[in-house]
Chain A
Amino acid sequence: MASYDALRAEFEAFAAEQIAPFADEWDRNGAVPESAIRAMAEAGFLGLSIPEEFGGRGLDQRGVMLLNMAVGEACSSMRSLLTVHLALVSETIARWGTPEQKTRLLPDLASGRKIAAFALSEPLTGSDAKNVHTRYVRDGDRYRLTGRKKWTTFGQRADLFLVVADGEEGVCAFLLDRSKAGKSLLLGPLDGMLGTRASLVAEMEMSGCAVDERDVLGRRGLGFLQIVNTALDNGRFSVAAGCVGIARAALRAAAQHANTREQFGSKLRDFQLIRRRAAAIALDARTAALLCEDAAALRDGGSPKAIMRTAMAKYHASAAANRAADHAVQIHGALGCHESSPVQRYFRDARVMEIIEGSTEMQELLIGEQAIKNPDLIID
């Protein structure tokens, strides 16, 4: 396997050449272009952590972290593709799919021939994710799905949806193939998001979409416990690392501006109040990275502590990205409020990170519960 330094260099060079220069334009257009998704696929990024036997690059979670950091520094909308396609869906199939599902689905996902999205949230269901209203019913040897999903990142583009629905056998996770759904699946764009505006968010309406029995992911009735929890744990890790990218981007932009802009006859960098903000961004960028590295090591080591430490990394990194982007906007003054500077994009993108993959409040409840029950699990 390539060294982590070499991987980081590869990912950062790709992001600097193929993503960062275009990220503001994609944000304004409200869409990452297909050519950019293809480039990600050709680089093997869409199957980075999928085993080589299924066409992926077979990298570990540390590799996944480095990729999310690099892409997240350049463009959070594009980084969201890694969260939904790779972390939430492909890695979850790799973990819990049947041998048949893995052989049939993972090669197309790993190569990016097919793009996947994760459909859990609904108009009436967000944080209380167990309480989905989308229903499934048995119809001979198939299931039929009916209901509405909302906020489905890359849903406008996806070929395959991991849909969470409730029914007779308890909550189940289904793999819905868009090409087979015909008119029973309506997809509409959800434009006008505050952040990650280019991530092709969709809303879905399913009216009796047929899904084969072989497309139930995980055990029947364990869709929440097994599939949603695994997926969100993977997703949280991806978002946490992406937030480190935002904080790093904010730091670079703030440093660049402080080094060039002059007021009162001095560069901004010479004012102590500006340095205080720079120090705050630096601390947030670094502490968020360290928590991600901690989570990556535990994940790669198969430790049961990994889930909690991943939640801690997501909780801290998403708040850290917000503070960092906020400071960067302040250091830029009016320029930070205008689309000619990317810091306004970092600020908007950071904001959604405290809401997705379990909001800040959900992480606080989870971490707080564990911290009180067993401080040792968190301290060690």
Chain B
Amino acid sequence: MTANDNDQLKSDIRDYFKSNMGKDARFADGDDIFADGLVNSLFALQLVTFLEDSFKITVENDDLDLQNFRSVDAIADFVGRKRNNSAA
């Protein structure tokens, strides 16, 4: 994945967060959105479907470590890893 791809990925994730938290939600790429109570519990499932739908990955039981989903940075890393694995 190039640096450009990664920037685009993060931008898509940020947009998705905003669409669920309200347009004026403020968060940094490293902020833990679950700990800050910015999202309701259904959001986690919506997020999984969003990632599968947008980035053509399959999220499996073993992937469901909250560490993979806590922040924009964490999700971008996770998606990058999934893509690399499926390309390998």
Contacts and interface: CB of A to CB of B under 8 A. Distances in A.
A222 B40 CA distance: 14
Contact of A303 (B42, B53, B65): B53
A251 B49 CA distance: 37
Interface string B42-75: 1011110110110000000100111000000000
Given A222-B66, A229-B45, A369-B40, A97 B61 contact: yes
Contacts of A376: 19
Nearest to A303: B53
B20 interface: yes
A366 B44 CA distance: 14
A226 B44 contact: yes
Contacts of A373: 20-22
A106 to B, nearest CB: 14
A224 B41 CA distance: 8
Contacts of A303: 49, 53
Nearest to B44: A225
A193 B73 CA distance: 50
A302 B40 contact: no
A307 B47 CA distance: 11
A3 interface: no
A127 to B, nearest CB: 13
Range for the number of chain A residues in contact with chain B: 20 to 34
Contacts of B23: 374
A372 B20 CA distance: 10
A129 B44 CA distance: 16
Interface string A75-92: 000000000000000000
Given A218-B64, A222-B66, A303-B49, A374 B19 contact: yes
Q: Which of A218, A219, A304, A377 has most B Cβ within 10 Å?
A: A304
B42 A366 contact: yes
A97 B42 CA distance: 19
B45 A230 contact: yes
A130 interface: yes
A130 B46 CA distance: 18
A366 B40 contact: yes
A96 B49 contact: no
A203 interface: no
Mostly helix, strand, loop or mixed at chain A's interface?
helix
B41 A229 contact: yes
Contacts of B22: 372-374
B42 A307 contact: yes
B41 A307 contact: no
A233 interface: yes
Given A304-B50, A366-B40, A219 B65 contact: yes
Contact of A96 (B46, B50, B61, B66): B61
Contacts of A230: 45
B66 to A, nearest CB: 7
A226 B20 CA distance: 18
A225 B41 contact: yes
A246 interface: no
Contacts of B45: 225-226, 229-230, 233, 307
A302 B52 contact: yes
A49 B80 CA distance: 31
B40 A304 contact: no
Interface centre among A225, A308, A374 (most CB of B within 10 A): A225
A306 interface: yes
B21 A229 contact: no
A302 B19 contact: no
Nearest to A233: B45
Nearest to B49: A304
Given A218-B61, A307-B45, A373-B21, 10 more contacts: A130-B41, A219-B61, A229-B44, A230-B45, A303-B53, A304-B53, A369-B40, A370-B20, A374-B19, A374-B22
5 contacts: A225-B41, A230-B45, A302-B53, A303-B53, A373-B20
Interface of A: 96-98, 130, 218-219, 222, 224-226, 229-230, 233, 301-304, 306-308, 366, 369-370, 372-374, 376-377
Question: Nearest 6 pairs between A and B by C-beta?
Answer: A304-B50, A304-B49, A373-B22, A304-B46, A219-B64, A225-B44
